[in-house]
Amino acid sequence: MSSVEKDRTPSIDKDQSSHEDFKKDVSNLSPEEAALQRQIALERALEVDPGVSTFARGAIQMYLITLVACCCSGDSGFDGTVMGGINSMKQYQTYFGMKTTGAKTSIVFGIYTIGQLTGIFPAAYIPDRFGRRAAMWFGNFILLAGAFLTANAHNKGMFIGGRYLTGLGASCAGTSAKSFMAELAPPKTRGAYIGFLNSFYYVGQIAATGMMVATGSWSSELSWRLPLYIQAVPAGLNVLLVFFCPESPRWLYSVGKEDQARSILARLHSSTNDVNSPLIDLEMEEIKENIKLNGPDKTWWDFRPLFRTRADRYRAGLVAMVGAFGQLSGNGLITYFLPVLLNQAGITNQHKVLVLNFVNSVTSYIGALSGTFIVDRVGRRTLTLTSTALCVMCLTIVTGLVGSGTGTSAKGSAGVAFVYLFMVFFSFGWTPIQALYPAEILDYSVRAKGLGFLGLVVQAVSCINTFGMPVALGKITWKVYLIFLIWDVFELIMVYIFMVEPKGLTLEEIDRVFNSPNPKEYSISLVAEAKKRAQNSA
């Protein structure tokens, strides 16, 4: 018997006994009753072992691990904004013979999307074969190569090649970081951790736009080359530090390393650091029930498990919905082409455009952090519905201002203000949801594939932003806002009808929700029941 087992307290032994009784009883229950009983068992386990406190050693370790994973999100934020800012620089345009809009610009922006599409394949294979950390390392190493290639480019071919590698690496690293955090974070605070991960996108944006405010005034090539060099910083940090982080416990169990998985869960989830805590026992039991040692994750090329059953198709549909809506709400238009929109509003001074681009990054990050800190409290549905409704309001006002005939300086300024508000409201809901929701609703056995599928959807619809938007802005100008307004109303209806609420559920409990006859209604009732019990016990 280990020393840990000898030191266990009578209260934990008592809870362990009731936990064993629970395991016997649950086998005769329906899936809905079993899910409810498991939630009750989790609450009982938390009474004995409430999990790590905010400033406990395990929590601090989790914060540091999250920062390393956040480098993968900072990659994407830096790239999207750095190209938007560089695209507005006369120094860059003169060197490569480019314009802010048009077919040539579409290729430069679009090749990054092609790279991200290609990155889906290593993102589906490497995480399941070599682990989540290895996939992050590989993606960021490729990104480093792409960043140095673009920063040293002497012709458009070299620049486009670097952009392709940057997209490939960012896709692989970002996809793996989402599954890594979803599988490592405690269930009750999973939303905050993954929301913070995706919100780090704006840290990359802030770094890029803030730097270009300064470099944009330089007359040399370094004005646009230096930001591209700095793009390598978050990727480099992840490459150096990622293997100092623990591996996903669920991946470790899937390759037969149960003891290591249990040890990591105890260190990061248990207040006592006890590998035999009832909380850790419950988590390990659910992992064992839901992960097969020879499951679909071992056949990386086979994506059919995503669509086999009704529950699988429902999940895949929600993943596709979040992926598409997260790119086509109008945010892509503003993220990549804010300088162009400002020019259309009458703001043409290059320095002022770069400053306003920087301000947009800061305000968007504030919105994203606000949503991240409340997503575990208000739930995923409420946050997404609120965010989308506010986006519809802003686009209605912007469309009325910029499309009402003869423009004035006051109208242009008001339009820009509501564009900024739009990004705050979008970031408030969709930034945390884009990373959190797909990662938590997917079953472990297809999580890497499912996030690869998410990447495919995201990059496919991103082609509209990167290839079509420069042309649309040149041809129909303000009417682009009207198109996104109509689309956002459609998004609001679809989210209300189909979105399942996974707030506070373990990843394994979420699996059972999707096997119920009506996943959306059942998930809402399950969360409401948990809230009612919490109020009664208070």
* Structure token pair of residue 171: 């896709």
Q: What average pLDDT does range 409-428 have in this prediction?
A: 82
Which of 334-343, 353-362, 377-386 shows the highest mean pLDDT? Answer: 377-386
d(C-alpha 520, C-alpha 498), whole Å: 6
Give 406 or 147, the one with higher predicted confidence. Answer: 147
pLDDT score of 15: 46
Task: Give the three-class secondary structure for 8.
Answer: coil
Task: Give the three-class secondary structure for 518.
Answer: coil
505: left (phi over 0), alpha (psi -120 to 50) or beta: beta
d(C-alpha 279, C-alpha 76), whole Å: 36
Residues sharing a CB contact under 8 Å with residue 149, sequence separation 6 or more, in sequence order: 158, 159, 161, 162, 165
Give 90 or 332, the one with higher predicted confidence. Answer: 90
Residue showing tokens 């989210």 = 495
Mean pLDDT of the chain: 81
What are the percentages of helix, strand and coil residues in the chain, rounded to 5? 80, 0, 20
- pLDDT category at 7 given cuts 50, 70, 90 is very low
pLDDT score of 182: 87
d(C-alpha 201, C-alpha 522), whole Å: 33
DSSP state of 97: T
Task: Give the three-class secondary structure for 178.
Answer: helix
DSSP state of 442: S
d(C-alpha 138, C-alpha 454), whole Å: 19
Of the listed ranges 38-47, 147-156, 351-360, 519-528, the least confidently predicted one is: 38-47
- Helices 156-184 and 447-463 pack at an angle, to 10 degrees, of 140
Give 236 or 106, the one with higher predicted confidence. Answer: 236
Cβ neighbours of 44 (radius 10 Å)? 16
Dihedral in degrees, nearest 10, Cα atoms 415, 416, 420, 426: 50
State percent of the chain over pLDDT 70. Answer: 83
Residue pair 213/354 in contact (Cβ under 8 Å)? The answer is yes
Residue 351 has pLDDT above 70, yes or no: yes
Residues sharing a CB contact under 8 Å with residue 117, sequence separation 6 or more, in sequence order: 167, 171, 455, 456, 459, 460
d(C-alpha 270, C-alpha 267), whole Å: 6
d(C-alpha 449, C-alpha 444), whole Å: 10
pTM of the predicted model as reported, rounded to 2 decimal places? 0.74
DSSP state of 247: P
d(C-alpha 405, C-alpha 524), whole Å: 46
d(C-alpha 527, C-alpha 429), whole Å: 19
DSSP state of 404: S
Cβ neighbours of 260 (radius 10 Å)? 15
* Structure token pair of residue 2: 């280990």
Cβ neighbours of 483 (radius 10 Å)? 16
pLDDT score of 404: 58
Residue pair 120/137 in contact (Cβ under 8 Å)? The answer is no
d(C-alpha 189, C-alpha 132), whole Å: 20
Distances (CA, A) of 476 to 38, 225, 324, 470: 55, 32, 23, 10
Residue pair 315/441 in contact (Cβ under 8 Å)? The answer is yes
- pLDDT category at 443 given cuts 50, 70, 90 is confident
Residue 519 has pLDDT above 60, yes or no: yes
